A = this chain, B = another copy of it.
Amino acid sequence: MNLLERRSIRKYKKQEISQELLDYILKCGIRSSNCGTMQLYSIIVTREEEGKKRLAPLHFNQPMVMDCSVVLTVCLDINRFHHWCRINNAEESLRNFLFHNIASIDATICTQAMATAAEEKGLGICYLGTVNYNAKGIAEVLNLPKGVIPVTTLTIGYPDEMPELTERLPMEALVHYEKYNDYSDEDIKRLYSDIEANPKNQAFVKENNLENLAQVFSQVRYNKKDAEYFSQMYKEYMKETFCEI
Chain A residues proximal to chain B, CB less than 8 Å: 1, 3-6, 8, 23-24, 26-28, 30-33, 35-39, 41-48, 51, 75, 79-81, 83-85, 87-94, 96-99, 101-102, 104-105, 108-109, 111-113, 115-117, 120, 125-127, 129, 132-133, 142-145, 148, 151-152, 165-169, 171, 173-180, 182-183, 185, 188-189, 191-192, 195, 211-215, 217-219, 221-224, 227-228, 230-232, 234-235, 245
Given contacts A39-B174, A93-B223, A217-B36, contact A116 B167 (CB under 8 A): no
Query: Are A30 and B98 interface neighbours, CB within 8 A?
Result: no
Q: How far is the CB of A60 from chain B (nearest CB, A)?
A: 13
Given contacts A3-B28, A132-B102, A234-B98, contact A177 B45 (CB under 8 A): yes
Q: Which of B46, B105, B213 contacts A108 (CB 8 A)?
A: B105
**Chain B residues with Cβ under 8 A from A245's Cβ?**
235, 245
Copies of this protein in the assembly total 2
Query: Are B176 and A44 interface neighbours, CB within 8 A?
Result: yes
**Chain B residues with Cβ under 8 A from A83's Cβ?**
183, 185, 188
Q: Complex: how many Å from CA A85 to CA B214?
A: 5
Query: Are B91 and A218 interface neighbours, CB within 8 A?
Result: yes
Q: Complex: how many Å from CA A3 to CA B189?
A: 40
Q: Complex: how many Å from CA A223 to CA B91?
A: 8
